[in-house]
Structure 1
């Protein structure tokens, strides 16, 4: 399939060029592709960009939009790798089959094996169709090597550790003792003072470099304002953020008050509760699943032991700088307004204006904004309507993602020593939520465009 002609000077999105070249490689890439035939996001991230495009060697291909010559160059690089990619897909299928035979379930196979499969394809070509002993042995060696690299820091190891009844009983007693012995909650006006300082930090936002004046952030950490807010959330508090319509915990729990943590023995990414409602197992399950370098984590017994205390600490975090980041994130979250419905609301800071402005330029947000004033508010059968609704309550997704990121830092003893590092996390979470929403809108639009059209007569009967 020749690369489509493109007028001189016209630039194409790099993602479009990759998609076109990928589809032109033909069959044999199913295990690396999505249902529609496009390369998986992880395929692009883990194989195409770092191993084929190699932007460090081809900086002209590192940009999001390519001119005609660069588009042709990228197209050629991918097509030249077609045979190796097909061999990679075959190795990936073999490694997944080997993984199942060995009973290994920890980790995402794409994250763990994609690049190793590309290496196998480069060195050995495609595995034989009858899975000869050489290919089978190589596949087993790779799967076992990846598993051993975790040093026992796996979800399976966590499950075995917490399955022991005596261990469960001991941990449950420790949780009960720590939860009962928590410090009393201060008055709600203490939290209001913390939020006022958070406003100063966010108003000092100075662009990509973060806040211009970091003294307020240092003052918040020194005064333990994150600890104070966390203890306020243990009592029934309202109006903490200057809005009575929002719960003080901003969706970090589905309960009126955070419940006492339980030990737990299972977890699923599809059904994870709100952060402060999670069991020990669920908290550490997320850490182990998302860690690219598990060998840098403490051992499972140490992870569990520290999580017992952490889960009973204010905001479910040990480090005070990370707790203060929750205060800052909460103050930022309650002012997020991607639909532009409350520009005149008081309390907006420079950080709010920067992030809201960036968000409102998103095409998916512009469409959602149109839907809010449409006489048919749900013209797409509910799919896009639900996504538009998410933009009316953006603080929920923001706070959940922020807490998970801060919890991961807490487990690794990675505090936020200054305002600039805190801002990098806060802004990064905003970008992540924005990108996730964009991806969900695109997926919904693809689904809707692929659905069969409703005959006009049928549509009139259902109206």
Structure 2
């Protein structure tokens, strides 16, 4: 499949599309790292391209979801310069899978286990040469027998021990009972008033790196205080009677005491504050592009036991404040332009809502879902309409997951600029997700039904 055509000069482009375009232009030899259509696999991007080639921690300009022309050119150049190493990585991966089959290893996903190790081998040795099969076999054995591996299987083994499960359950119960008492709803109102000031400094070109109001919220512990409010049922904290208190962070009236858990599935994960220890760490291990930087599974579980019982399910105060800011933003999201939640609208709300309303997919969905064409069976159009009427749920769920991932890695949000980058990035991500779902629904609706065969006569 040929790479997509380049955009007009000066247009900002989604980073994912830049990576896809560059990848398709690298030529043959990358099939083990690519999907059927020629695009890089999701794990290829998460485990190799971003952390090992793009390295956004060293190049912050490439960390954004949308890139200006200069950053687009740099990203394209970095990927194309890595062609030789990527081809060698694909060859090493094929060799390691062959060794894995010969050794009868079945645990773990080979891409998760070997992608980054294969890139390291490509950097150190180039393409596989004579004796490479011996090196591949040794590496597979090393990974298979590595104690405390940072994988979902290792987590399952760790939490499968009956004695350990009993001890962790007792620790969870004790941590939950020793929490500070819930705070009064008035504290939430005060925190949200400060949050509105911060959000009004966002959404304009380049908010200042430091903000006295943002810093003051962190220093005053308003995130913790807000989390303590949400431990008790406090209606109306958002200034709108039609908004649930927790904005989708829990499906219960109040968050439940966390359980240990035995398994998880991405398709059935509950709301963030309703997740078990297993489910909370499952998402971290599944999405991590830098597993070697994580603590061992035993350490992750030990810290998560306390974190799951902390206000908002987070330890770091700057991340808790980001939840408050995100909640204030989410409460005013209005992609359909109904005018709901207008009081307290800030510069951040205007920036996000105007971007969302310009989406062609939202305009088409609005016409279809609020027109006189109901979806009596409660099908895909009904679900899309509900997403547009209750956008805060998807936003808060995704925001919490990102903040939780930062908390696990001890990566606070040091200033307003970094906090806004996360808040705005989540809004863009939710919008693009919704765009993809709308387009898929419209494609499905445009397909004519299959003709019904005439019944044959006896």
TM superposition score normalised by structure 2: 0.76
Q: Report the Cα offset of residue 388 of structure 1.
A: 4.1
**1:130 is matched with which residue?**
none
**1:315 is matched with which residue?**
312
**Structure 1 runs not aligned, ≥5 long:** 128-132, 459-463
**2:269 is matched with which residue?**
272
After superposition, the C-alpha distances for 1:4-53 in whole angstroms (9 at most, x for unaligned) are 999x99x9x99599779959989x98765556666645567878999999
Number of aligned residue pairs = 435
Stretch moving more, 211-220 or 364-373: 211-220
Alpha carbons of structure 1 residues 446 and 95: separation in structure 2 relative to 1, 3 Å: farther
Stretch moving more, 135-144 or 404-413: 135-144
**1:291 is matched with which residue?**
288
Q: Report the Cα offset of residue 282 of structure 1.
A: 1.2
After superposition, the C-alpha distances for 1:248-301 in whole angstroms (9 at most, x for unaligned) are 111111111111011112222222111111111111121122222222222222
Indicate the SS of the match to 2:389. Answer: coil
**1:233 is matched with which residue?**
230
Task: Tell me, yes or no, if the aligned pair for 1:322 and 1:410 is still in contact at 8 Å.
Answer: yes
State the Cα RMSD in Å.
4.7
Task: Tell me, yes or no, if the aligned pair for 1:254 and 1:274 is still in contact at 8 Å.
Answer: yes
**2:456 is matched with which residue?**
none
After superposition, the C-alpha distances for 1:206-262 in whole angstroms (9 at most, x for unaligned) are 524235872221221222211111111111111011112121111111111111011
Residue 366 of structure 2 is aligned to residue 369 of structure 1 = yes
Residue 406 of structure 2 is aligned to residue 403 of structure 1 = no
TM superposition score normalised by structure 1: 0.76
Alpha carbons of structure 1 residues 113 and 153: separation in structure 2 relative to 1, 3 Å: closer
Alpha carbons of structure 1 residues 138 and 271: separation in structure 2 relative to 1, 3 Å: farther
**Structure 2 runs not aligned, ≥5 long:** 454-458
Residue 436 of structure 2 is aligned to residue 439 of structure 1 = yes
**1:461 is matched with which residue?**
none
Task: Tell me, yes or no, if the aligned pair for 1:371 and 1:378 is still in contact at 8 Å.
Answer: no
**1:259 is matched with which residue?**
256
Q: Report the Cα offset of residue 439 of structure 1.
A: 3.4
**1:112 is matched with which residue?**
115
**1:102 is matched with which residue?**
105
**2:426 is matched with which residue?**
429
Q: Report the Cα offset of residue 92 of structure 1.
A: 4.9
Q: Report the Cα offset of residue 151 of structure 1.
A: 6.5
**2:323 is matched with which residue?**
326
Matching of residues 380-419 of structure 1 within 5 Å: 382-419=379-416
Alpha carbons of structure 1 residues 140 and 204: separation in structure 2 relative to 1, 3 Å: same
After superposition, the C-alpha distances for 1:374-397 in whole angstroms (9 at most, x for unaligned) are 332459994455334322221111
Task: Tell me, yes or no, if the aligned pair for 1:106 and 1:289 is still in contact at 8 Å.
Answer: no
Task: Tell me, yes or no, if the aligned pair for 1:107 and 1:289 is still in contact at 8 Å.
Answer: no
**2:449 is matched with which residue?**
454
